[in-house]
Structure 1
Amino acid sequence: MAQASPSTSPAGSGPHDGRNAWAAGGTVFAGVLLLVDGALGVIKGIAGVAEDEVYARLGDYVFAFDVTAWGWILLILGIIMFIVGIGLLKGMLWARAMGVVLAGFSIIVNFMWLPYAPLWAIISIGIGIFVIWALCTDGSRSRSTT
């Protein structure tokens, strides 16, 4: 009696197949979130660069930077995150590694951005945490290396 090889076994028959499928779906969602968070970063950045009056600082905070400088940081980070999000949706392996790095950097930047836009900073931090989780838990190796 022949045993089914892993490539011919029915879907969901392995002990971790459901979890891997969930994580793989999470990777696609992480790509979409990077696209959206990147686009929002571009908008936040443009608002910061265009006019210093758009963002009001809430009280004293340890990290006191010029809003225009923050605008440029958010604008550049948003553009790069958008590009990496496209790479993730195309299944590029380099985009997975860059996605983790950029999401971590985005968490740090948005923590420092808290006094200017607390709600959006917290939302971006949550997105970054999910992106890191999704990209680190998807164990599929069927991704393209270019």
Structure 2
Amino acid sequence: MIFGGFMAIVEGISAIAEDRVFLSTRHYIYGFDLTAWGWIHVILGVLIGCAGVALFKGATWARTVGVVVAGVAMLANFLWLPYAPFWALILIALDVVIIWALCTAPSPSDEF
């Protein structure tokens, strides 16, 4: 989750800093300004990264938060597809793996 959050932050910063990097599509129904999309990805990246750090510290609430935030990030990356298709598909796949790992990992009380 920390890596996924970092990648989302990088994606957001690149959208905020340099709008010419991304493909501009016309008549896209979710066509926000690239700066707005950048801030969305930065905020989601920070939330995913913080939930990942909380998981390493053993917080049980971080699983639920991680699943919800990774799901929202997956939706945001789906809506981001017209701007950076390859990058968005990689982050969607990473979010799927994050959700799968959080849902199938044993709880800390089941370990011993």
Q: Is the shorter-chain TM-score for this pair beyond 0.5, marking a shared fold?
A: yes
Q: Partner of 2:50 in structure 1? A: 83
Identify, as 1 or 2, the structure richer in helix: 2
Bigger radius of gyration: 1
Q: Partner of 1:53 in structure 2? A: 20
Q: Partner of 2:75 in structure 1? A: 108
- Structure 1 gaps, min length 5: 1-33
Return the letter of the residue paired with 1:48.
Answer: A
Cα displacement (A) at 1:59: 6.2
User: For 1:61-99, what per-residue CA distance to the aligned partner results, in whole angstroms no more than 9, with x for missing partners?
Assistant: 332111000011011111111111111122211111110
Q: Partner of 2:98 in structure 1? A: 131
> What number of residue pairs does the alignment pair up?
110
Q: Partner of 1:119 in structure 2? A: 86
Identity %: 46
Q: Partner of 1:93 in structure 2? A: 60
Return the letter of the residue paired with 1:95.
Answer: A
Partners of 1:87 and 1:140 in 2: how far apart? 15
TM-score w.r.t. the length of structure 2 is 0.88
Partners of 1:115 and 1:97 in 2: how far apart? 29
- Structure 2 gaps, min length 5: none
CA RMSD of aligned residues (A): 1.7
Q: Partner of 1:35 in structure 2? A: 2
Q: Partner of 1:5 in structure 2? A: none
TM-score w.r.t. the length of structure 1 is 0.69
Partners of 2:51 and 2:108 in 1: how far apart? 18
Partners of 1:108 and 1:60 in 2: how far apart? 19
Give the match's secondary structure for 1:142: helix
